[in-house]
Amino acid sequence: NALQEFSHHAEGHILNILALRSMAQAKYSPKNIGHFGLGFSHYAHFTSPIRRYPDLLVHRVIKSLLKCGRYELVLPPVQSSVGNFKKRPGAAPAKGLPKPPVKASSRVKMSTQEAAAWETAGIHCSANERRADEASRDVEAWLKCMFMRERLGDEYGGTVSAATSFGLFVLLDGLFVEGLIHITELGGEYFKFDEARQELRGERSGVRYGVGARVRVQVSRVDLDSRKIDFRIV
């Protein structure tokens, strides 16, 4: 597949990043629509040990199934989700793993209130996961700025990871630190952004800077407040 081909490419890491950026963000939902990338018609994601609240919900559902019961989600007035376990009347204790039903989806009957509770929990968990990701990226960006602040004027080799109308983003070799070369730092001519080719092209010289291009840069500015690092072409 494409990712396997990327692994043999000189700019494999950059191509992997572009592939990830092109994908839609995952979200939690009671509707099991499968997994497009893996080619699965049914898919559920959770970790063990539990690292987030959606993991806890999936663990509770699995635990109830192993006990021949059914987990019912109940949302309280507060912003967290709790549930209660209801065992089916007359159900015998489970011996090992239960046999998977032939048509599990058709046998699961939820009330309108319970279905709405799962939908609400999915929206809440998805939003909180986005917020956690943003916080992690912000801390990581701040630490990278702290690291590069002591290296003003140093030169590094790097690869263009993105091209925009206002400049080039460059990923430094070995450090995985990304910074911006503003379009005014590319030379004394007008550069036009080609969105289809994802590159900047000089109108007079015809020089091109596109994703995957190798450049050598100098660290020119680090702003801790805005979490930004600026480079200039050497």
pLDDT tens-digit profile of 3-51? 676 666 656 666 676 776 677 777 888 888 888 777 888 888 888 888 8
Tell me if residue 157 falls in helix, strand or coil.
Answer: strand
**Helical segments of 49-198, H only:** 53-66, 104-107, 112-149
Q: What is the per-residue pLDDT for 90?
A: 53
Cα–Cα distance between 86 and 39 in angstroms, integer?
A: 34
Cα–Cα distance between 187 and 48 in angstroms, integer?
A: 53
Neighbours of 79 (CB within 10 A): 8
Q: What is the per-residue pLDDT for 75?
A: 77
Nearest to 169 by CA among 185, 153, 192, 151: 185
Task: Show Cβ contacts of residue 227 under 8 Å, excluding neighbours closer than 6 positions.
Answer: 138, 141, 142, 145
* pLDDT tens for each residue of the chain, 234 residues long: 666 766 666 566 666 767 766 777 778 888 888 887 778 888 888 888 888 899 999 999 999 989 888 888 887 664 444 444 444 555 554 444 334 333 444 456 778 888 888 888 889 899 999 999 899 999 999 999 999 999 999 999 999 988 999 999 999 998 889 999 999 998 888 999 998 888 899 988 889 998 888 999 999 999 999 999 999 998
- Length in residues, the chain: 234
- Would you say the pTM of this structure is higher than 0.85? no
Q: What is the per-residue pLDDT for 95?
A: 44
Cα 22 off chain centre by: 11
Q: What is the per-residue pLDDT for 82?
A: 44
Q: What is the per-residue pLDDT for 14?
A: 66
**Could you give the C-alpha distances from 144 to 157, 212, 224, 232, in angstroms and in order?**
17, 22, 9, 18
Summarize pLDDT for 170-180 with one digit per residue, the tens.
999 988 899 99
**Could you give the C-alpha distances from 29 to 35, 112, 145, in angstroms and in order?**
13, 15, 37
Cα–Cα distance between 122 and 124 in angstroms, integer?
A: 5
